[in-house]
């Protein structure tokens, strides 16, 4: 049975603390379907043509949390998002020494969502990269200081990026 956008929005209204992944599992839909039903103030979809600019700028943002979810397991990396370059069909994350590294298959990215949704009652902002089947490939959450307060310069960058998307739309 197909789930309408209105049904997703009603579920979100009734369960505001529920994360998109939980909503998707509960309604048997993709996380991208849930995300695209978020209220306008919580969501901006980055045009895919801007992914290279975004990835080139992320290393300048400072420490963040990158999350990869696979088969119910969650992997987290706290630190700067690495620089990268294209080679052999991948965007290769370049890390000297320790840190996040890997190979991103960017041709398979179907959407990039900038999401501002509270997490456990706390302000939270993330950049979510989705695959062809509406699944999250990885997420990058803005960093926090030692008191768990979001880093203000990152919030400013994030909000400016969201605003630029909404102006272009």
Q: Tokens 């370049």 identify what position?
A: 94
pLDDT in tens, 24-49: 999 999 999 999 999 999 999 999 99
pLDDT in tens, 6-26: 999 999 999 988 889 999 999
Angle ∠(4,10,11) on CA atoms, nearest 5: 95
When the pLDDT of each residue in the chain is averaged and rounded to a whole number, the result is: 91
Rounded mean pLDDT of 77-99?
A: 87
What integer pLDDT is reported at residue 101 of this predicted model? 81
What integer pLDDT is reported at residue 146 of this predicted model? 93
Rounded mean pLDDT of 109-127?
A: 91
Q: Tokens 């963040």 identify what position?
A: 64
The sheet that has 63-70: what strands, in order across it?
A: 43-46, 111-116, 125-130, 136-141, 63-70, 73-80
- Which residue ranges make up each domain of the chain? 42-168
| Top CATH class, 42-168 | alpha beta
The model scores a pTM over 0.85: yes
């Amino acid at each position: 049975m197909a789930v309408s956008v209105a049904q997703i929005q009603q579920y979100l209204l009734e369960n505001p603390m529920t994360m998109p992944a939980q909503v998707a599992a509960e309604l048997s839909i993709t996380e991208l379907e849930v995300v695209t039903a978020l209220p306008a103030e919580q969501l901006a979809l980055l045009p895919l043509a801007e992914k290279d600019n975004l990835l080139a700028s992320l290393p300048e943002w400072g420490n963040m949390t990158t999350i990869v979810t696979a088969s119910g397991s969650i992997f987290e990396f706290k630190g700067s998002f690495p620089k990268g370059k294209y080679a052999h069909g991948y965007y290769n994350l370049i890390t000297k020494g320790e840190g996040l590294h890997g190979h991103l298959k960017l041709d398979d990215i179907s959407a990039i969502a900038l999401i501002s949704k509270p997490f456990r009652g706390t302000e939270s902002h993330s950049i979510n990269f989705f695959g062809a089947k509406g699944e999250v490939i990885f997420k990058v959450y803005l960093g926090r200081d030692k008191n768990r307060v979001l880093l203000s310069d990152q919030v400013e960058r994030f909000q400016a990026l969201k605003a630029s998307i909404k102006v272009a739309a």
